Amino acid sequence: MSEPEHVKAVKAKLRDTVARLLGPPGDLLELRRLTAGATKATWAFTAQIGDTQQALILQTSIVSSRPEGTAAKSDDAKTAPAKLPTLAGEDDAAMMLVAGKAGVPVPQVRAVLTADCGLGEGCIMDFVPGETIARRILREPRFAALHENFAQQCGEILARIHAMDQASLSFLMPLDGARQIALYRDVYDSYDLPVPALEVAFRWAEDHLPAVARSTVVHGDFRMGNLICGEQRIHAVLDWELACVGDPMQDLGWLCVKTWRFGGVDAVGGIGHREDLFAAYERASGIAVNPAHVRFWEGWGCVRWAIICLIKGLAHRSDPAQRTVEAFAIGRRMEEPLFDFLEFLREEKAAKVCGYR
C-alpha cells in the first residue's frame, strides 16, 4: 500500500528534524498518526538516533493560536468568530518542562520545533506507554488497580500543577472566573446563533460565580482522555494548550463533568469519587476544598464544553481544514452538556430545598 502524499511529506521533514535536533542519522523506522486529539496532529514514530532506536511522539498544532496570546475580544469580532486563547509550540513545551520539574508526570520534551523544520509549531517528546482511550480504561479489567486510586492520583497531581511557578510561565493568560465567563460569552455571541439554553447557563454562571481565594497555574483541560494511564498509575498529563492562571478549583470541577465520565457512573472520570479527589488534594496541597465551590466549576464545565462543541462544529466556516466528520460530529454534541446542565440545575435546586447547602 502506498503512502499518502502528506505522510511522505511529514516523513521527509521529520527525518531531517530528528537528525538535526536529536542526532543522526534520524531514520524513521515507523510513523503512524494517532487518532487522539482534535486540535493537534499527533504522530508516533521510532527513530534511529546514534546506536539506539527511540520511541518518540511528534505533536504539532492544527489550530493556529492567537498572536501575542491576546484576549479573544477584538474589533473584528463582528465578522470573524472569537477564538479561545490556546498555547502552542514553544509555550506548550515550556508548560510540560515546568510541570515536569514540579513533579507532574509529563512526557519528556526532547526538542521544540523551529520554523525551519517545516512541520508547524510543536515539539518532539518521548513516547509514554499507556492508554488514553477512556472506553478502554473504564471497561478493561486490567485497569482495576488504577480505578482504586485514580481519583486520589488526580488530586495529588492537581495539587502539584497548582503549585507550579507562575513567574516562569509569564505567557499564561490571567483568566479568573469572571473573565472566563465573559470570554466564552464573547465567543458564543460572535457566532450570532441564538441558543436559549446557553442564555440561561451564562446567566446562572454570572450569578453564582464563587469568590476566589487563590489564583494559580491551571491546566485547563485535566480530564479522562488527556491522561496516559498505566494499569496502576497515571503516567502522563497531556494537552496543556488551555492552561491559564486562575481559580484552581476549576480543574477539579472540569474533571468531574459528566462528559468526561465516558458513560461511567462515578464522578471522577467515571471511575473515582469526589471525596477521594478532594481528600488527596487537601493532603497534597494543605488547602481545604469547598465542595460547593468545585460544584460551580462542574456546572460551568457543562457550559464550557457546550461552547467548545459550538466552536468545533462551526470551525469549518473559517478553516476549511476543519471540514471533517469528526468536527461536524462534535458540533452535534452540543446538546449533551446543555442537557446535563439542566440536570445539574435540578440537582442544585433539590439540594437547596433539602437544606444541605
Binding site for another protein (CB under 8 A): 1, 32-35, 194-200, 203-204, 263, 324-326, 328-329, 332-333, 335-336, 338-339, 342, 345
By C-alpha distance, which of 40, 20, 343, 41 is closest to 201?
343
Output the smallest distance, CB 203 to another protein, in A.
4
Residue placing its CB nearer to another protein in the complex, 127 or 328: 328
Residue placing its CB nearer to another protein in the complex, 93 or 201: 201
Output the smallest distance, CB 306 to another protein, in A.
11
- How far apart are alpha carbons 90 and 68 in whole angstroms? 13
Output the smallest distance, CB 200 to another protein, in A.
5
Beta-carbon contacts of residue 350 (< 8 Å; ≥ 6 apart): none
Output the smallest distance, CB 10 to another protein, in A.
13
By C-alpha distance, which of 42, 36, 234, 44 is closest to 135?
36
Q: Which DSSP state fits 104?
A: -
Residue placing its CB nearer to another protein in the complex, 169 or 310: 310
Cell 492552561: give the residue: 243
Residue 253 parent element (H or E) = helix 249-255
Output the smallest distance, CB 169 to another protein, in A.
33
Residue placing its CB nearer to another protein in the complex, 166 or 324: 324
Output the smallest distance, CB 35 to another protein, in A.
4
- How far apart are alpha carbons 48 and 22 in whole angstroms? 10
Residue placing its CB nearer to another protein in the complex, 41 or 102: 41
Cell 472540569: give the residue: 254
Residue placing its CB nearer to another protein in the complex, 165 or 199: 199
Residue placing its CB nearer to another protein in the complex, 34 or 97: 34
Q: Where are the alpha helices (DSSP H) in 59-131?
A: 89-101
Output the smallest distance, CB 333 to another protein, in A.
7
Output the smallest distance, CB 266 to another protein, in A.
15
Output the smallest distance, CB 319 to another protein, in A.
18
By C-alpha distance, which of 260, 250, 50 is closest to 137?
260
Taking a C-beta distance cutoff of 8 angstroms, is the pair 154, 269 a contact?
yes
Exposure of 307 in the CB half-sphere (CA atoms within 13 A): 25
Quick one: the chain helix, strand, coil %, rounded to 5? 50, 15, 35
Q: What is the largest CA-CA distance in the chain?
A: 69
Q: Please name the amino acid found at residue 293.
A: H
Residue 29 parent element (H or E) = strand 25-33
Output the smallest distance, CB 353 to another protein, in A.
13
Residue placing its CB nearer to another protein in the complex, 204 or 222: 204
Residue 10 parent element (H or E) = helix 5-21
Residue placing its CB nearer to another protein in the complex, 196 or 286: 196
- How far apart are alpha carbons 99 and 161 in whole angstroms? 7
Residue placing its CB nearer to another protein in the complex, 194 or 320: 194
C-alpha grid cell for residue 116?
525551519
By C-alpha distance, which of 240, 334, 255 is closest to 295?
255
